[in-house]
């Protein structure tokens, strides 16, 4: 139990569907992240939010739309996905650095997405 909860754990969707992944943390952290883990590939950083502002977008296609309404919640809205988007989507959080580096990300267990 890391304190980062992701729902749903498994999601199957068609290419025309719209769905959302949810991440929640109650660790008092101010930074949140989305990572993508495809089969046989390293984890890829998708988005970074710091104090609810997006500070990093790693050239992610617009069919993935993140939302961070407050420091405890992070969403990834999905629409018109492709089969190659099937992967494990991982959320993580960390304390705001504020000049002091803690060195630790806390990951959720991930949402396994299958696009048909």
Partner 1 sequence: DAKTTQPNSMESNEEEPVHLPCNHSTISGTDYIHWYRQLPSQGPEYVIHGLTSNVNNRMASLAIAEDRKSSTLILHRATLRDAAVYYCILRDYQGGSEKLVFGKGTKLTVNP
Residue numbers at the binding site for partner 1 (CB under 8 A): 2, 4, 31, 33, 35, 42-43, 45, 48, 50, 55-56, 90, 92, 94, 96-97, 101-110
| Residue with Cβ nearer partner 1 (16 or 41) | 41
For partner 1, the closer of residues 35 and 64 by Cβ is 35
Nearer to partner 1, 69 or 99 (CB): 99
Tokens of 56: 């990093």
Please choose, from the candidates 98, 83, 85, the residue with its C-alpha nearest in 3D space to the C-alpha of residue 36.
85
DSSP state, 27? S
Q: Least separation, in Å, of the C-beta of 105 and partner 1? A: 6
| Measured distance CA(80)–CA(77) in Å, rounded | 10
Cβ(22)–Cβ(6) below 8 Å: yes
């Amino acid at each position: 139990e890391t304190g980062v909860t992701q729902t749903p754990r498994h999601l199957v969707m068609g290419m025309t569907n719209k769905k959302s992944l949810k991440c929640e943390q109650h660790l008092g952290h101010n930074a949140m992240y989305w990572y993508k883990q495809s089969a046989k590939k390293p984890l890829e950083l998708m988005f970074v939010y710091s104090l609810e502002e997006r500070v990093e977008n790693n050239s992610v296609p617009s069919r993935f739309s993140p939302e961070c309404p407050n420091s405890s919640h992070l969403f990834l809205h999905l629409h018109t996905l492709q089969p190659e988007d099937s992967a494990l989507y991982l959320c993580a959080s960390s304390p705001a650095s504020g000049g002091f580096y803690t060195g630790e990300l806390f990951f959720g267990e991930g949402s396994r997405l299958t696009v048909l």
